[in-house]
């Protein structure tokens, strides 16, 4: 009989009412609503009891270690997690644990499991189904879709369809006929599992507005920031008239601070070679995010800086497709 490990971190799925609003409860509360488990053996472990807003890099290392230590003991691992930062955690796991040998599936819910309208039980059962599938990788199972972790973004605060797969269709779908996986969309993993949990957390995401003062880059430099992701306009435009970012980008890069340019648009990604406002930044040495999500940009830069502080090496890492985080459009059309 196949074995699944359920790791619990808290989140809405376990939450109960309190005088201060919803607060996460323990794993036993979740298990009491699951009913009889058929077709596989389920082991459980409570890692923490936190709202996902409070899950930070320190918790990422705990989650990654628990997953890695159990890769050879189970056929699949499911992690329950709050939805607000699930995309960040799942993406970071994809860099900390490369080439996983089993399915690792994150899930949660928009309503607590004790709510009569909850989506928790359905999402959990979908996660178990994916964990039993044998497909290697790190995924998010939510609202009858299986999404690659590095392509997952939360797009709704209350809708049951809380997550979307950005710049590629979902890896899988679940309907009345069962689970269907589009296997040609899965990353090409190497044989050896790589566990590399070291990261640099002092990375800043800067979202541009038409009025952003470029001197904010100086403030970030003076705060000892180690890397910056700039969420730029459209295809990656950064202004250079009046509020000219050019000298500040040059200064940061001379100080060995890598700058990754992504887009404020959810879909299609950046191409810094199209417009002058992109080319100027590219000439100054910024790193293009290509079609990565901002969640993947941030976590990949944190992970890259945990491996090296050499900008050339970090640029090389960003040119690699480690866990399906970029260049999906080259893989052809989806079956779905």
Q: Where are the alpha helices (DSSP H) in 70-188?
A: 86-96, 120-131
CA distance 207 to 148: 25
Identify whether 12 is a catalytic site residue. yes
Q: Which member of 61, 75, 275, 279 is catalytic?
A: 275
Residue 276 buriedness (CB in 10 A; 0-12 / 13-18 / 19+): exposed
* Residue 48 token pair: 């923490």
Contact criterion met (CB below 8 Å) for 267 and 151: no
CA distance 158 to 150: 22
CA distance 251 to 325: 29
Identify whether 114 is a catalytic site residue. no
Q: Which member of 12, 80, 107, 293 is catalytic?
A: 12
Identify whether 89 is a catalytic site residue. no
Identify whether 250 is a catalytic site residue. no
DSSP 7-37: EEEESGGG-B--TTS-B---HHHHHTTT---
User: How many other CB atoms sit within 10 Å of the CB of residue 188?
Assistant: 8
**Helices 57-69 + 86-96 axis angle, to 10:** 50
CA angle in degrees (0–180, nearest 5) for 174-175-181: 35
* Residue 115 token pair: 């709510």
Contact criterion met (CB below 8 Å) for 99 and 113: no
Q: Which member of 154, 226, 280, 326 is catalytic?
A: 154
H or E segment to which residue 178 belongs: strand 178-181
* Residue 258 token pair: 């890598």
Identify whether 275 is a catalytic site residue. yes
Q: Which member of 51, 68, 80, 83 is catalytic?
A: 83
Closest to 147 (Cα-Cα) out of 134, 132, 137, 157: 137
Q: Which member of 84, 119, 143, 291 is catalytic?
A: 84
Residues with catalytic roles: 12, 83-84, 154, 275
């Amino acid at each position: 009989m196949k074995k699944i490990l359920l790791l619990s971190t808290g989140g809405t799925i376990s939450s109960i009412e309190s005088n201060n609003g919803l607060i996460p409860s323990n794993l036993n509360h979740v298990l009491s609503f699951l009913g009889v488990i058929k077709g596989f053996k389920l082991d459980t472990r409570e890692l923490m009891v936190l709202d996902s807003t409070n899950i930070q890099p320190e918790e990422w290392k705990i989650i990654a270690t628990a997953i890695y230590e159990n890769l050879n003991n189970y056929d699949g691992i499911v992690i329950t997690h709050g939805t607000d930062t699930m995309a960040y955690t799942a993406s970071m796991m994809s860099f900390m644990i490369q080439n996983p040998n089993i399915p690792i599936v994150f899930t949660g819910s928009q309503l607590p499991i004790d709510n009569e309208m909850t989506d928790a039980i359905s999402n959990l059962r979908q996660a178990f189904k994916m964990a039993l599938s044998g497909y290697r990788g790190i995924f998010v199972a939510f609202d009858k879709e299986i999404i690659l972790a590095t392509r997952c973004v939360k797009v709704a605060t209350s809708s049951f369809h809380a997550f979307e797969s950005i710049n590629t269709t979902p890896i899988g779908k679940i309907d009345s006929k069962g689970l269907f996986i589009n296997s040609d969309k899965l990353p090409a993993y190497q044989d050896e599992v790589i566990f590399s949990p070291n990261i640099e957390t002092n990375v800043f995401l800067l979202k541009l507005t038409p009025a952003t003062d470029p001197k904010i880059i100086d403030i970030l430099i003076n705060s000892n920031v180690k890397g910056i992701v700039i969420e730029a306009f459209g295809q990656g435009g950064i202004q250079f008239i009046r509020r000219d970012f050019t000298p500040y980008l040059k200064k940061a890069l001379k100080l060995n601070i890598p700058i990754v340019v992504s887009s404020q648009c959810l879909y299609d990604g950046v191409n810094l070679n199209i417009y002058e406002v992109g080319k100027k930044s590219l000439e100054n040495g910024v790193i293009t995010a290509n079609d990565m999500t901002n969640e993947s940009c941030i976590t990949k830069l944190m992970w890259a800086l945990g491996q090296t502080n050499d900008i050339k090496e970090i640029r090389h890492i960003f040119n690699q497709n480690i866990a399906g985080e970029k260049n999906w459009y080259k893989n052809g059309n989806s079956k779905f």
